[in-house]
């Protein structure tokens, strides 16, 4: 089996690539970067192209049996996703697994969520057997906060107190590989969540326990968060994320017991907890620091 992965050099995509390779699948990764294509794991084929380029869309998907369609957050996310669906149709791809976001329909005003809804509609209308994965916020996002956690004892992600059922990317990768290589998943949508609805304070407490030092939650001030984020993110992205965090603070994004049970049946194991992920990171960080 041959699978094309878009976004295959990022956090989720690289995990999906690794999971597929471990299952004996032949993998191609579509990337804009020749440097990243050259750095892919041994045996993984890099295809340099751009979903905004019609020539890529016309040619890159030929010969693929399956497509893992992931589109990074951008101002062209919806267009890129829909072009990816066109590529799958032109290349006669046998199945699509699309990475969306949990409960996107509850917040279509959020640019990232609204873009996912447009691509979901294109996937469903494509005529290609499909599976839609709808994950929550990723544990691995916390890797960006290593310095804040370790050096300043601060958990800065302003997710509030309503609770969001954050998920390990490795669970997402397993779900994608199962949907791409197994049977019985056509037409299905799976919410992918962690075992606990986490608050900002709870995330800080989990990291505190893992690191063996006090970690405080940075709070819910979204004006301050956006002002700080604009120092290292484009203004449009900081605005998008600020609106998303506002949604988390007021509405939350909790996974249901039914979603957890369905995910457990799909993967064959319970969702990974944040405490286990944090403990793994803390051990790795201590080792890398020579402690």
DSSP notation for the chain: -EEEEETTTSHHHHHHHHHHHHTT-EEEEEES-HHHHHTSPTTPEEEE--TT-HHHHHHTTTT-SEEEE---SSTTHHHHHHHHHHHHHHTT-SEEEEE--TTGGG-TTSHHHHHHHHHHHHHHHTSS-EEEEEE-SBGGGGGGGHHHHHHH-EE-----SS-B--B-HHHHHHHHHHHHHSSS-TTEEEEE--SS-B-HHHHHHHHHHHHTS--EE--S-HHHHHHHHTTTS-HHHHHHHHHHHHHHHHT-BPPPHHHHHHHHHHHTSPPPPHHHHHHHHHHHHHHHTT-
What does the pLDDT read at residue 289?
A: 59
pTM equals: 0.96
Domains and CATH numbers, the chain: 2-136+169-192+255-271 (3.40.50.720)
What does the pLDDT read at residue 291?
A: 45
What does the pLDDT read at residue 286?
A: 85
What does the pLDDT read at residue 141?
A: 97
Q: What stretches in the chain show pLDDT beneath 50?
A: 290-291
What does the pLDDT read at residue 287?
A: 76
What is the rounded CA–CA span in Å between residue 40 and residue 258? 37
Number of C-alpha atoms within 13 angstroms, CB side, residue 105? 3
């Amino acid at each position: 089996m041959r699978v094309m992965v878009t976004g295959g050099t990022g956090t989720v995509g690289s995990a999906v690539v690794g999971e597929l390779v471990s299952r004996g699948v032949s993998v191609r990764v579509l990337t804009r970067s020749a440097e990243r294509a050259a750095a892919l794991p041994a045996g993984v084929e890099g295809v340099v192209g751009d979903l905004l380029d019609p020539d890529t869309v016309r040619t890159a998907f030929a010969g693929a049996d399956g497509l893992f369609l992931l589109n990074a957050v951008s101002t062209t996310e919806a267009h890129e996703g829909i072009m990816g669906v066109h590529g799958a149709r032109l290349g006669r791809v046998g199945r699509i697994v699309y990475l969306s976001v949990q409960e996107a329909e509850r917040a279509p005003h959020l640019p990232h969520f609204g873009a996912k809804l447009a691509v979901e509609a294109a996937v469903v209308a494509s005529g290609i057997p499909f599976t839609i994965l709808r994950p929550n916020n990723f544990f691995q996002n916390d890797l960006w906060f290593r310095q804040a956690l370790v050096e300043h004892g601060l958990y800065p992600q302003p997710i509030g107190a309503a609770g969001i059922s954050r998920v390990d990317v490795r669970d997402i990768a397993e779900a994608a590989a199962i949907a791409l290589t197994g049977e019985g998943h056509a037409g299905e949508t799976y919410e992918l969540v962690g075992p606990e609805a986490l608050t900002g304070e709870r995330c800080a407490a989990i990291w505190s326990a893992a690191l063996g030092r006090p970690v405080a939650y940075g709070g819910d001030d979204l004006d301050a968060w956006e002002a700080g984020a604009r120092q290292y993110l484009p203004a449009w992205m900081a605005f998008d994320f600020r609106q998303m965090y506002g949604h988390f603070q007021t509405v939350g994004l909790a996974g249901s017991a039914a979603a957890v049970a369905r995910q457990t049946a799909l993967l064959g194991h319970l969702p990974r907890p944040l405490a286990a992920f944090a403990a793994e990171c803390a051990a790795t960080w201590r080792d890398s620091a020579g402690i």
